[in-house]
A and B are shown apart, each in its own frame.
Chain A
Amino acid sequence: MKTLIIKYGELALKKSNRGYFEKVLINNLKLNLTSFNEVDIRREHGRIFIEFDKYEFEEIIEKVNKVYGIVGFAKSIKIENSIDEMNEAAKNLVEEALTRKNYKTFKVVVNRANKAFKVKSPEIARLVGGYIYNAFEDLDVDVHNPDLIVKVEVRKQSYVYADEVKGLGGLPYGTGGKSMLLLSGGIDSPVAGWMMAKRGVVVEAVHYHTYPFTSKQSTEKVLKLAQIISNYTGEIKVHSINILEIYKTIQEKCPKKHFTIIGRRFMTMIAEKLAKQNGCISLITGENIAQVASQTMEGLNITNSSVSLPIFRPLIAFDKLDIIEIANKIDTYETSILPFEDCCTVFLPSRVEVRPNLDDVVKYEDVLDREKLINDALSTIKTYQITPETEIEF
């Protein structure tokens, strides 16, 4: 029987909540593996065992690799309690491990929980170690600092595994509260959402467009980005809102240099309203200090002051290249760089106030009927439930 042994280190720190975190994690694993019917998932000895026969390790690992809260995992083979079977299983695992990495030294670590098995731990280590040593010419034993550790666990049955792989890390999705992500078609906001989700935060998203000044493809692109994130989170809700009327009104009534910041405040205010309607207690943006002229500290402060919910900006101190690295890792980058713009040039003033003053901005904004503009924008809302399986089309 193939078994994937899953470790979830940080959860152990959560003491009294541990049971809850474990339950959520197992549930998330089950959800992510729903397409595999014949998989047994159970918790045992502070780890999760995923057992299956019908599938390849790689197809299961691909899914497990997208579950937050897993520190590491190892491919293991479940066998009868017999030295011969241990030898054979260990040999196969080492052989496979060697295809991935050029290990030079190894040792065997044994955990004999089942004392009914009469061969004691040091003896098992010696026997299995000897077998491996003889099977692979270039592999030496090093009990102090081995490259590769082969583990044998003797329970009702035995598990043999080698070559632990790092998991995604983070905390089980759903254990960290719910937040509204301002999602654009750019590179940053999908990464910001993914990072918060990694800390267990349930992410819901709002997207703004200015159709017909932007095309339907730009909304479709955002839904595709949400879909990529949903590979990690499961179903994700995306609200799409047309803010053309707001932009038109700002353009008409406010000074050009404040256009961007006032627009930004409206997006934030709408997001907050939507957040409260949907049980979210914070906002998430992909903003980043000084990445664009409107994301100066002054600008961010003025945006903050438009709402009362906290705004989380996980990328605030990241360099662009580091953000791109994560975007590539989570697979959003290629979609983010598609050409469909979120905003038409007519709404991108050539000069933006870099050090705006809150009183000025509020003074200009006061000319506008905030309540009405926000409610009118909200009336254009379209909500999509996106899962990895959703067919995205209009």
Chain B
Amino acid sequence: MEVYLDNSATTKVSEIVKNEINDILNNYYGNPSSIHDIGMKSEKKIRKARKTIAKYLGCKNEEIIFTSGGTESNNLAIIGYAIRNRKKGNHIITSKIEHKSVINSFEYLKTQGFDVTFLNVNQKGMIDLNELENKINENTILISLMHVNNEIGNINKINEIGDLIKKNNSNAVFHVDGVQAFGKYKINLRNIDMYSFSGHKIHSVKGVGGLYKKKSILIDSIHKGGQQESEIRPGTENLIGISAMGKAVEEIIEEYENNYKKVLELKESFTKYLNDNIEDCVINGAGVEETSPYVLSIALKNIYAEVLLHSLESKKVYISTGSACNSKSKKYSHVIEALNIDEELMKGTIRVSFSKYSTMSEIEYALKALKDSIDELRKIIIRSK
């Protein structure tokens, strides 16, 4: 049995999406910008995808900008907004556990003279809303926080945060990195000005994503070119990627509530098994209620995460780690490091992430493999100390 539990990294492409891609490859080659009927035919595909996604997010069609993926969407939203609107203020806020594409956009803006606040998180990975409120001032133009954290699964209550932001500074714009939430929840854009998403996390293909941008918000483009995507993201459209993502959303709209329930059950039984059978094991993050059922971060004492990853790989169970084990340097992910937990736990932090295709029998197989590997490795690791 092959058990893929690294769905926060990427997901496998669904059959419906594969068929859509085949159809595009076989029947659509026109440039969506061409004004003859071969071009129009392609353009229609893009329009359809845009409509599907706009409907799912509850926004206007023209508020969707297609990009090459989550990283570009985050870059475009943050850098594009800050550069365009710097006359309104110089202060921007994010947190220490954002995706690198957000953190590094903020780091870049810092070099461009912006005053940047990185919010701390507590040991459960939660930001302090009081701290956020205190940091917002009249110079604050942009706040970027993620919807679901990709490493520990924490959910930010983005609408409440949006309300809070607007209450404190109605001019501040709120960007949400929604890559890990898109296609998994009903999304409400109340008091959210920009929202990033990606195709390959929801069983579409790599290399496509998008940004919801409220119509009234103005941002600078990063790419310079033609008129595509309202000139905000020029370049010939990624017809295959965009159609595939549209199709994936179409498919998922029908089922995300059921998927959620199913995956939640899997996560609960996974967690229960860990609590009952594995010693010195801590679940990272905010707890079942406030984390995504799709993501489970597990900290294990007396384990090197990377060794465990390879041990599971040899049993065809695929997960990811929160640290790169390297005998010369110990590197932890910035998210795990921000949690400020015991270093022993950081070393042994792994991430298990589920998808709608995960099954209970896969989970049972994975848990058995996990227990065997942990027992086997701990014997060696404890003896070496």
Q: At the interface, yes or no: B87 with Cβ under 8 Å from chain A?
A: no
How many residues on A have C-beta within 8 angstroms of the other chain's C-beta atoms?
Answer: 18
Minimal beta-carbon separation of B160 from chain A (angstroms): 43
Q: Mark B314-349, 1 if CB is under 8 A from A, else 0.
A: 100000000001111000000000000000000000
A212:B307 contact, CB within 8 angstroms: yes
Closest to A340 in B: B326
Minimal beta-carbon separation of A350 from chain B (angstroms): 9
Q: At the interface, yes or no: A248 with Cβ under 8 Å from chain B?
A: yes
Q: Is the interface of A mostly helix, strand, loop or mixed?
A: loop
Q: At the interface, yes or no: B313 with Cβ under 8 Å from chain A?
A: yes
B314:A346 contact, CB within 8 angstroms: no
How many residues on B have C-beta within 8 angstroms of the other chain's C-beta atoms?
Answer: 17
Q: At the interface, yes or no: A345 with Cβ under 8 Å from chain B?
A: yes
Q: Mark B122-154, 1 if CB is under 8 A from A, else 0.
A: 000000000000000000000000000000000
Q: At the interface, yes or no: A306 with Cβ under 8 Å from chain B?
A: no
B307:A343 contact, CB within 8 angstroms: no
Asked if A252 meets B383 with Cβ closer than 8 Å, knowing A341-B327, A345-B327, A348-B327, the reply is yes
Minimal beta-carbon separation of B85 from chain A (angstroms): 42
The residue in B310, B313, B327 that gathers the most chain A C-beta atoms within 10 A of its C-beta is: B327
Q: At the interface, yes or no: A282 with Cβ under 8 Å from chain B?
A: no
B380:A346 contact, CB within 8 angstroms: yes
List chain B residues, Cβ under 8 A from A346: 304, 380-381, 384
Asked if A211 meets B310 with Cβ closer than 8 Å, knowing A346-B380, A346-B381, the reply is yes
A339:B326 contact, CB within 8 angstroms: yes
Minimal beta-carbon separation of B177 from chain A (angstroms): 29
List chain A residues, Cβ under 8 A from B380: 213, 248, 251, 346
> In the complex, which residues 203-230 of chain A have their Cβ closer than 8 Å to any Cβ of chain B?
211-216
The residue in A248, A339, A341, A345 that gathers the most chain B C-beta atoms within 10 A of its C-beta is: A345
List chain B residues, Cβ under 8 A from A211: 310, 314
Closest to A247 in B: B380
A31 to B308, CA, bound (A): 45
A344 to B310, CA, bound (A): 12
Minimal beta-carbon separation of B210 from chain A (angstroms): 33
Asked if A344 meets B307 with Cβ closer than 8 Å, knowing A212-B313, A212-B314, A251-B383, the reply is yes
A347 to B377, CA, bound (A): 12
B314:A343 contact, CB within 8 angstroms: no
Closest to B330 in A: A345
> In the complex, which residues 12-64 of chain A have their Cβ closer than 8 Å to any Cβ of chain B?
none
Among candidates B313, B327, B383, residue contacting A344 with C-beta atoms closer than 8 Å: B327
A213:B327 contact, CB within 8 angstroms: no
List chain B residues, Cβ under 8 A from A248: 380
List chain B residues, Cβ under 8 A from A348: 327
List chain B residues, Cβ under 8 A from A213: 307, 310, 380
Minimal beta-carbon separation of A157 from chain B (angstroms): 59
Q: At the interface, yes or no: B6 with Cβ under 8 Å from chain A?
A: no
A214 to B384, CA, bound (A): 16
Asked if A215 meets B327 with Cβ closer than 8 Å, knowing A251-B383, A346-B380, A346-B381, the reply is no
Asked if A212 meets B310 with Cβ closer than 8 Å, knowing A251-B380, A252-B383, A346-B384, the reply is yes
List chain A residues, Cβ under 8 A from B306: 215
Minimal beta-carbon separation of A75 from chain B (angstroms): 46
Closest to A213 in B: B307
List chain A residues, Cβ under 8 A from B311: 212
Closest to A214 in B: B310
Closest to B324 in A: A339
List chain B residues, Cβ under 8 A from A339: 326, 328
List chain A residues, Cβ under 8 A from B313: 212
Q: A212-B313, A214-B310, A346-B304 are in contact. List 4 more A-B contacts (CB 8 A).
A: A212-B307, A344-B304, A345-B327, A349-B384
Interface residues of B (CB under 8 A from A): 304, 306-311, 313-314, 325-328, 380-381, 383-384
Can you list 19 A-B contacts with CB-CB less than 8 angstroms, sorted by A residue number?
Answer: A211-B310, A212-B308, A212-B310, A212-B311, A212-B313, A212-B314, A213-B307, A213-B380, A215-B306, A216-B310, A251-B383, A252-B383, A341-B328, A344-B304, A344-B325, A346-B304, A346-B381, A347-B384, A349-B384
The 4 A-B residue pairs with the shortest CB-CB distance in the complex, in nearest-first order? A212-B310, A212-B311, A346-B384, A345-B327
